Amino acid sequence: NLPKSVRIVEVGPRDGLQNEPKRIETAQKLELIRRLAESGLKTVEATAFVSPKWVPQMSDHQEIMKHLMAAIEGSNADISFPALVPNLKGMEAAVETGVREVAIFASASEAFSKKNINCSIEESLDRFKPVLSCAKSNGIKVRGYVSCVIGCPYEGRVSEESVAKLSKQLIDLGCYEISLGDTIGVGSPGSVSRMIRRVQQDVQTDKLAVHFHDTYGQALANILTSIQLGVAVVDSSVAGLGGCPYAKGATGNVATEDVLYMLEDLNVETGVDLGQVLQAGQYICKELGKENGSRAARALLTK
Ligand code: HMG
Ligand code: MG
């Protein structure tokens, strides 16, 4: 009972790069985004309008977004470049660039909320209200992330109840979609299916996305579980780049190449060309001097 097609939300340029210690040039990020966009991806999360003191790697957000918006201006290109915004200050900076889509991010665990955005869950919801009204008056789409949907690096297990509650609150605030993030990658199909089934009681399945990190090697199994439950939007990161600055030990997101390899075999359409994503991954790994984190990429490239 799989969806006929799945939309891949590529998060490499943001989630993948935010934690890189070495400064990556804006031009390199833009080249990565250009290659990803050419592969047929319809959503490429491009940057984050967060504090440069907290996440220095995203400090060129203005330049990145201005460039991307200029590149698609006037065209009817069916592609979105969302940016993360944590508060109204970030939202206002994003609006100046002509951004068409943003993502707000809340945590299902109190301790992680404090570490990541320096406020409680309740306070974060209050901060998002003006962000949502600003978005509404500017015709900007808002995606919502819930992080720590299975476990928290500080609090341990996170209840399904709190994930469902927060997801519903973000939908009620005006988010068009909720991305359920297993930020530290501790979930496996048992816990993931319990969590999704609980969230489905409060939020329609066509408003859900999943966001897995591969810390325990469970990400693909978790994605299969999620799509079997009807979820048709999957976040992933080219070459498996990433990690979270406030979640020690968390590895990268599931690799886009690995997800595509699995979905192709399941005859689930994505509209994305695996070969082109592979080349985009090789490009950024070479620039970063890193080994490609995608198992499918490593196998396909040595074939
Ligand atoms: P704060 O220090 O509490 O903020 O940080 P503040 O309001 O007290 O302001 C302090 C300073 O920051 C001020 O500057 C503000 O102007 C400035 P100063 O007067 O000291 O010079 N400031 C900003 N600057 C730029 N952009 C802004 C902004 N806001 C305030 N938007 C804040 C609060 C939310 C800003 C901070 O904690 C922050 O930026 N956090 C972001 C952390 C982050 O990006 N984490 C990674 C993304 S989340 C994630 O990866 C999980 C996800 O992938 C899902 C998953 O994996 O599960 C989404
Ligand atoms: Mg993430």
Question: Using CA atoms, how far apart are residues 244 and 50, in angstroms rounded to an integer?
Answer: 14
Question: Using CA atoms, how far apart are residues 221 and 5, in angstroms rounded to an integer?
Answer: 18
Q: What are phi and psi of 67, to 5 degrees?
A: -60, -45
Q: Active-site residues: which are they?
A: 244
For 87-106, how does the pLDDT look when each residue is reduced to its tens digit (9 = 90+)?
999 999 999 999 999 999 99
Tokens 């984190």 found at: 293
Distance of CA 222 to the CA centre of its chain: 16
CB of 105 closer than 6 angstroms to any ligand 1 atom: yes
User: Closest Cα partner for 272 from 102, 40, 70?
Assistant: 40
For 213-245, how does the pLDDT look when each residue is reduced to its tens digit (9 = 90+)?
999 999 999 999 999 999 999 999 999 998 666
Question: Using CA atoms, how far apart are residues 130 and 113, in angstroms rounded to an integer?
Answer: 19
Question: Using CA atoms, how far apart are residues 154 and 55, in angstroms rounded to an integer?
Answer: 20
User: Closest Cα partner for 6 from 258, 269, 230, 210?
Assistant: 269
CB of 118 closer than 6 angstroms to any ligand 1 atom: yes
The type of residue at 138 is N
CB of 237 closer than 6 angstroms to any ligand 1 atom: no
Beta-carbon neighbours within 5 Å of ion ligand 2: 15
User: Closest Cα partner for 125 from 89, 86, 158, 159?
Assistant: 86
- Ligand 1 atom 35 nearest Cα: 51
Tokens 């489905």 found at: 200
Question: Using CA atoms, how far apart are residues 151 and 107, in angstroms rounded to an integer?
Answer: 11
Model pLDDT, residue 74: 81
3-state secondary structure of 217: coil
Model pLDDT, residue 231: 98
Model pLDDT, residue 247: 65
For the chain, residues with pLDDT lower than 50 are none
Model pLDDT, residue 166: 98
Looking at the DSSP bridge assignments, the partners of residue 47 are 83
Model pLDDT, residue 117: 93
